[in-house]
Amino acid sequence: MGEVFRPKDLLKERKKFIEEALRDLSPGVRDSVIYILNSWRGEESKDSLIKILGKRRVEDILKSLEV
């Protein structure tokens, strides 16, 4: 049988991944990145994240967040 996931479960998994990916950042930077991800505005947000984290890291995070 296949597994059934509630939307709430998927959000928990995303949150865990984001926290794991950002654990080596300072708390202020981590909070900024989480704020940008929560208020996503497309390319504008992606550009802001690239300025903070670098292109490769942002691409990895965004790729893993796709459902």
Average pLDDT over residues 29-34: 88
* pTM above threshold 0.85: no
Helix (H, G, I), strand (E, B) or coil at 39: coil
pLDDT at 18: 76
**39, 45 in Cβ contact below 8 A?**
yes
* pLDDT classification of 54: cutoffs 50, 70, 90: very high
* pLDDT classification of 10: cutoffs 50, 70, 90: low
Task: Look over the chain and give the mean of its residue pLDDT values, rounded to a whole number.
Answer: 79
Q: Helices 27-38 & 7-21, crossing angle to 10 degrees?
A: 150
pLDDT at 51: 95
Average pLDDT over residues 29-38: 87
**22, 31 in Cβ contact below 8 A?**
no
- What lies within 8 Å, CB to CB, of 22 at 6+ separation is 29, 30, 33, 34
